[in-house]
């Protein structure tokens, strides 16, 4: 009897950790993202949540909170909110976190990345690994890089083909003092505001223009907000980070951590494919650019020589910010891009 009782107690003791682990899983995990479907940025977040929820059999129930609603629409507060426990998971824009994570600003150096091959070289190479290590030090486990897309500039007043064409234009930017320097350096009047405030500002004429990926311009019908001119200049590309709060990550067992990572990578790959669709780059058609023209938007596609004129005008901005971001990291980025030639 004593032996049987001892075995039962031992079995109960062995079972206890598994039960305790299961009890740490919450009824819901909150995932924050800027914007909403159908833009590729938000689509990546929704797909990640759906994949995790489905493949875990509902044990890990992830709910997306679009429009950065958990931080009152202010996307620049998402990183702080995650560290405070308000947000469990997030698809971060590197633009929005760069004021707090200076290394993420490498993607905002003007005209650093000439094309998507250059962008891929950064996120898939040493630069990407370094940035993920920095995020880990900020209590965020980065699982995958996605892409919001190259940011093009639109406005209500005129075509932009040279730096001088920006003179006097009121241009909205999302976050980061580097954007203030970029547009000030070309004689524009930059204004920082959240995406939630952008559409009414365009509609009322409070700002003349904005810079965002083509897919977002089309999804939010900015052509109906007096944006009649679009310049394809690829001046920066907004990398996305699919991240989980470190404390939340540590609450999952190894198998579920692998599940979260695999789902993030799959959703990020789909996000990148959607972000590049219709832009006329290798492997896609130019349906998005044709749709702009169908909506009576004048599309100006800059040549390599015209882009160099902008890059030259902004060289002082590049040099000033390279030292702030980290000279070593910027040199790694430049070397990775040169290696593609």
pLDDT beyond 70 at 287: yes
pLDDT at 171 over 70: yes
Residues 215, 288, single domain; the answer is: yes
Query: Which has the closest alpha carbon to 176: 248, 231, 275, 106?
Result: 106
Q: Please tell me whether residues 100 and 249 are part of one structural domain.
A: yes
Percent of the chain residues topping a pLDDT of 90: 87
Q: What is the pLDDT of residues 211-246, one digit of tens each?
A: 999 999 999 999 999 999 999 999 999 999 999 999
Residues 179 and 66 in one domain: no
Considering the domain architecture, whether residues 29 and 118 belong to the same structural domain is answered as yes
Give the alpha-carbon dihedral of 246, 97, 109, 127, to 10 degrees: 0
Residue 107 lies in a domain: yes
Q: Which two tokens stand for residue 80?
A: 């702080």
Q: What's the pLDDT at 34?
A: 92
CATH classification of the domain holding 165? 3.40.190.170
For residue 132, pLDDT over 90 is answered with yes
Domain membership flag for residue 230: yes
Tens of pLDDT, residue by residue over 87-118, are: 999 999 999 999 999 999 999 999 999 999 99
pLDDT (mean) for 13-42? 74
Structure letter (DSSP) for residue 165? G
On whether residue 6 sits in a domain, the answer given is no
Task: Say if 4 falls within a structural domain.
Answer: no
Query: Domain boundary at 257, 276, 295, which?
Result: 276
The fraction of the chain above a pLDDT of 70, given in percent, is 93
Residues 216 and 246 in one domain: no
pLDDT attached to residue 157: 97
- For residue 19, the model assigns a pLDDT of 37
Pair 77, 220 in one domain: no
- Show the domain range for 287: 152-236+280-338
- Same-domain check for residues 315 and 184: yes
Are residues 170 and 301 located together in one domain of the fold? yes
pLDDT in tens, 314-325: 999 999 999 999
For residues 332 and 126, the answer to whether their CB atoms sit within 8 Å is: yes
- Model confidence at 281: pLDDT above 60: yes
Does residue 8 have a pLDDT over 90? no
CB atoms within 10 A of CB 174: 21
* R_g of the chain, CA atoms, integer Å: 22
pLDDT of residue 7: 39
Same domain, 132 and 102: yes
Last residue of a domain, one of 276, 300, 327: 276
* Per-residue pLDDT band at 24 (split at 50, 70, 90): confident
Asked if the structure places residue 114 within a domain, the reply is yes
Q: What is the rounded CA–CA span in Å between residue 218 and residue 310?
A: 25
Q: Mean pLDDT over residues 32-55, rounded?
A: 96
- pLDDT of 10 > 70? The answer is no
List pLDDT tens digits, range 79-89.
999 999 999 99
Q: Which pLDDT tens digit goes with each residue over 239-273?
A: 999 999 999 999 999 999 999 999 999 999 999 99
In a domain, 13, yes or no: no
Tokens of 333: 């980025």
Place of tokens 């977040």: 45
Asked which of 223, 256, 276 is the last residue of a domain, the reply is: 276
On whether residue 9 sits in a domain, the answer given is no
Tell me the mean pLDDT in the region 51-60.
97
Residue 192 has pLDDT above 70, yes or no: yes
Q: Averaged over 291-303, what is the pLDDT? A: 98
Residue 160 lies in a domain: yes
| Burial (CB count <10 Å: 0-12, 13-18, 19+), residue 14 | exposed
How far apart are alpha carbons 31 and 92 in whole angstroms? 10
Number of separate domains in the chain: 2
Residues 162 and 142 in one domain: no
Please determine, for residue 15, whether its predicted confidence score (pLDDT) is greater than 60.
no
Looking at the fold, whether 305 and 193 belong to one and the same domain comes out as yes
Residues 132 and 259 in one domain: yes
Q: What is the pLDDT of residue 26?
A: 95
- Mean pLDDT score of the chain, rounded to an integer? 92
């Amino acid at each position: 009897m004593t032996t049987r009782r001892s075995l039962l107690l031992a079995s109960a003791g062995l079972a206890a950790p598994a039960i305790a682990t299961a009890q740490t899983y919450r009824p819901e995990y909150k995932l924050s993202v800027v914007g909403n479907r159908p833009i590729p940025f938000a689509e990546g977040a929704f797909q990640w949540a759906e994949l995790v929820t489905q493949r875990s059999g509902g044990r890990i129930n992830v709910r997306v909170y679009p429009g950065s609603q958990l931080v009152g629409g202010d996307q620049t507060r998402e990183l702080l909110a995650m560290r405070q426990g308000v947000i469990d998971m997030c698809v971060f824009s590197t633009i929005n976190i760069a004021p707090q994570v200076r290394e993420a600003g490498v993607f905002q150096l003007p005209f650093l990345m000439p094309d998507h091959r250059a962008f891929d070289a950064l996120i898939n190479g040493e630069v990407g690994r370094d940035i993920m290590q920095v995020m880990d030090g900020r209590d965020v486990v980065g699982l995958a890089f996605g892409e919001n897309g190259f940011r093009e500039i639109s406005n209500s007043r005129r075509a932009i083909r040279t730096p001088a064409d920006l003179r006097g234009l009121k241009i909205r930017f999302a976050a980061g003092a580097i954007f203030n320097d970029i547009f000030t350096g070309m004689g524009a009047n930059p204004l920082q505001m959240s995406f939630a405030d952008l559409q009414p500002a365009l509609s009322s004429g409070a700002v003349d223009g904005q810079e965002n990926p083509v897919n977002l311009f089309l999804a939010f019908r900015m052509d109906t907000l007096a944006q009649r001119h679009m310049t394809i200049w690829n001046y920066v590309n907004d990398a996305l980070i699919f991240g989980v709060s470190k404390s939340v990550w540590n609450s999952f067992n190894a198998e579920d951590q692998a599940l979260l990572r695999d789902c993030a990578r799959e959703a990020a790959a789909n996000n990148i494919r959607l972000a590049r669709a219709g832009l006329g780059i290798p492997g896609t058609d130019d349906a998005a650019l044709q749709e702009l023209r169908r909506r009576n938007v004048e599309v100006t596609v800059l040549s390599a020589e015209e882009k160099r004129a902008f890059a030259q005008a902004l060289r002082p901005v590049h040099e000033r910010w390279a030292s702030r971001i980290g000279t070593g990291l910027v040199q790694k980025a430049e070397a990775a891009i040169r290696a593609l030639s």
